[in-house]
Structure 1
Amino acid sequence: MKSLIVFGIASLLLCSTIARAEPLGRTFVGDFIGNDATTENYLSIAGDYDRSENSESLYLEKTISPNSSFSIFIGYQRFEQEEESTSSSNFELAYKRVLIRIPSHEFVFTINPGLELPLGNRSAGSESHARAGFDLLFQKGFGELPDFLRILRPFGVEGDWGWQSKVTGARDDLTTADLELEYSLHYLDQNVAVGAVPRALRDITPNLDFDYAQYLSAHRNSSQPNFDLTPAIAWLNATYEVNLGVQVAVNRAASGSGAVAFVWLLGVSFDQLVPALGWMPFH
């Protein structure tokens, strides 16, 4: 009997060790257009508002295989230019392909080429030429950190670097970069301190986003780099996402349209609501 008890305790300890070695997955926040390194069935609307401009956008992504997807992005912007109200709108088609995926290190690296088409009225300030380019995106979780650093395991980092240029007309290159640090309370509750986070807070993920944008060869846009910092709080689970933040201009070039802007995003993984929509033509 005593040997059976010892065997039972050892089995429980072994099972516990295995459970800790295989943590439940995390959900990354992504940026404020809904785009991240993961291929997914996702729909979002987002926008921003400050004293001189505001914009809205729609992002729709559909997987075609476990490692690739197509997406469309539609954006509309209204802003003040030389004390006159102008507007612009655009439509972008993109293809996302995962190049590297290492689940044991929660790492994904993706390329996302795309073509952007202007939709607005040129006389109202809209872009007049199509643009083509690509983004390189990554995301990394820290679930593999040793036990004495387990409080840091809920941290995640993701970001991208992008380049875009006009297809026709005078050369006008745009380069952008984004780096985001986030801390998942859901991951903390499920894998680090089980049951320690109140239920009302478990889906909260504070995040801090740093953005860079610069025209490298523009004929009418400022060539000075724009730097913005966006502290935000996201509520998200496997199906829904709500992300609210305040974008703060870090340098003078970024404050041209306002030193502070309110940014928001509402998103849904639509295949979680209707599983049939997760169908993929290629496997």
Structure 2
Amino acid sequence: MSRSISRLLALAILFALASTSDALAHCFVGARFFPATLAIDDPCVADELSMPTVSWSRTADMPPATEWDFSGEISKRITENFGVSIGETWTQIRQPDGMVTAGFQDLETTFQYQLLKDRSHEFALLAGVIVDWGNTGAVNSGLGTSYSLVTPTLYFGKGFGDLPDTLSWVRPFALTGQVGYQMPTSSFDFTQAAFIPQQAVYGASLQYSLPYLKSEVVDLQLPDFFNHLIPIVEASFSTPVANNFGNPYTTTGTVNPGVIWVGGYFQIGLEAVIPINRESGSGVGVLGQLHLYLDDMFPATVGQPLFGGSQATPRKLTF
């Protein structure tokens, strides 16, 4: 399964690099462009490819191990408002004594439906269900599980472009977030002799769009490189809420300050990964991603929904 997905992702990259079509931004709500965020998801269905996403961190063990994660995800709209994503992550964990554990995590699929796009208020609302499929990862290495995880999730995005001109400096700000409830398909893990908790999983991002500042507020005559930047702070958390017998109800998560550079066909993001407590990890890690806008690259083919594709010209991203 994972080999087939890797071939599909690699093929999509080759097509993307060969494309010469006009650049079309894939997640516009009115004048607001929401970039694909690294730690949480953006509030739009789209045709896109994240590959690779690479992270390095230290685990919460004492002494800590070092962990590398390499992942890829491809998203495809089935209709104008309904999309499906498939993602896979390969993980390597190196213990202080040199022992290495490596393998694939469970395959993840996400089903999403666009509930709302309010152009005048730059507001987007998206509903989804994330499924991590049990027995599709390296269960014997502890990187996969014998049970599945089902997470109904609500995503939102809100730009502040509808504020009055007296607050023009605030208008490039935007807030995105997601809230989900993660439910395992089994309540007890017999291999670990432990209860499997249900968890609230949630996060948010605060971003300041310099492309929006230039196009919608004021052109400060900055060098072109800076007009492509979106400074961002993301946060992602998980809190056990049920079936956590014998364990503390400790919230874990990270805060990720960083920046996204947005181009016509792709974006590059880089963030620091700061654990919020000792249970979340040791020290500061790093997260980077190359994200390709397939619906911008192939607006008449790959970038169209499988059913009921629109012939209208999408909004262009300008700098």
Q: Same fold (TM over 0.5)?
A: yes
**TM-aligned CA distance change 1:25 to 1:100, over 3 Å:** same
> What does 1:112-191 correspond to in 2, within 5 Å?
112-118=128-134, 119-125=136-142, 126-170=144-188, 171-191=196-216
Gaps of 5+ in 1: 1-22
Tell me which residue corresponds to 2:272: 246
**TM-aligned CA distance change 1:78 to 1:154, over 3 Å:** same
User: Once the two structures are superposed, what CA deviation does each residue of 1:42-75 show, in whole Å capped at 9, x if it has no partner?
Assistant: 1002121024212121111111222221111112
**TM-aligned CA distance change 1:269 to 1:219, over 3 Å:** farther
Is the 8 Å Cα contact of residues 41 and 155 (structure 2) preserved in structure 1?
no
Q: CA RMSD in A?
A: 2.4
Tell me how many residue pairs correspond in the alignment: 259
Tell me which residue corresponds to 2:63: none
Q: With the length of structure 1 as denominator, give the TM-score of the two structures.
A: 0.83
Tell me which residue corresponds to 1:76: 90
Following superposition, the deviation at residue 26 of structure 1 comes to 2.9
User: Does residue 212 of structure 1 match 2:237?
Assistant: yes
**TM-aligned CA distance change 1:270 to 1:245, over 3 Å:** same
Is the 8 Å Cα contact of residues 274 and 283 (structure 2) preserved in structure 1?
yes
Tell me which residue corresponds to 1:105: 121
Tell me which residue corresponds to 1:54: 68
Is the 8 Å Cα contact of residues 229 and 262 (structure 2) preserved in structure 1?
yes
User: Once the two structures are superposed, what CA deviation does each residue of 1:163-215 show, in whole Å capped at 9, x if it has no partner?
Assistant: 21211352431321111100011110111113533212111000011221133
Letter in 2 for 1:228: T
Tell me which residue corresponds to 1:228: 254
Gaps of 5+ in 2: 1-28, 59-65, 189-195, 310-319
How far apart in 2 are the matches of 1:70 and 1:207? 26
User: Does residue 274 of structure 1 match 2:298?
Assistant: yes
Tell me which residue corresponds to 1:12: none
Q: With the length of structure 2 as denominator, give the TM-score of the two structures.
A: 0.74
Structure 1 stretches of 4+ with a deviation exceeding 6 A read 219-222
Secondary structure of residue in 1 paired with 2:146: coil
How far apart in 2 are the matches of 1:78 and 1:213? 22
How far apart in 2 are the matches of 1:199 and 1:82? 45
Instruction: Give 2:284's match in structure 1, choosing from 237, 246, 260.
Output: 260
**TM-aligned CA distance change 1:71 to 1:144, over 3 Å:** same
Tell me which residue corresponds to 2:38: 32
**TM-aligned CA distance change 1:120 to 1:64, over 3 Å:** closer
Secondary structure of residue in 1 paired with 2:225: helix
How far apart in 1 are the matches of 2:30 and 2:111? 29
More helix by share: 1
Task: After superposing the two structures, state which structure 1 stretch, 131-140 or 72-81, moved more.
Answer: 72-81
**TM-aligned CA distance change 1:267 to 1:221, over 3 Å:** farther
Secondary structure of residue in 1 paired with 2:161: coil
How far apart in 2 are the matches of 1:174 and 1:184? 32
The percent identity for this pair of structures is 23
Following superposition, the deviation at residue 218 of structure 1 comes to 4.4
Letter in 1 for 2:54: G
Is the 8 Å Cα contact of residues 24 and 191 (structure 1) preserved in structure 2?
no
Letter in 2 for 1:250: I
Letter in 2 for 1:159: G
Task: After superposing the two structures, state which structure 1 stretch, 196-205 or 141-150, moved more.
Answer: 196-205
How far apart in 2 are the matches of 1:77 and 1:215? 24
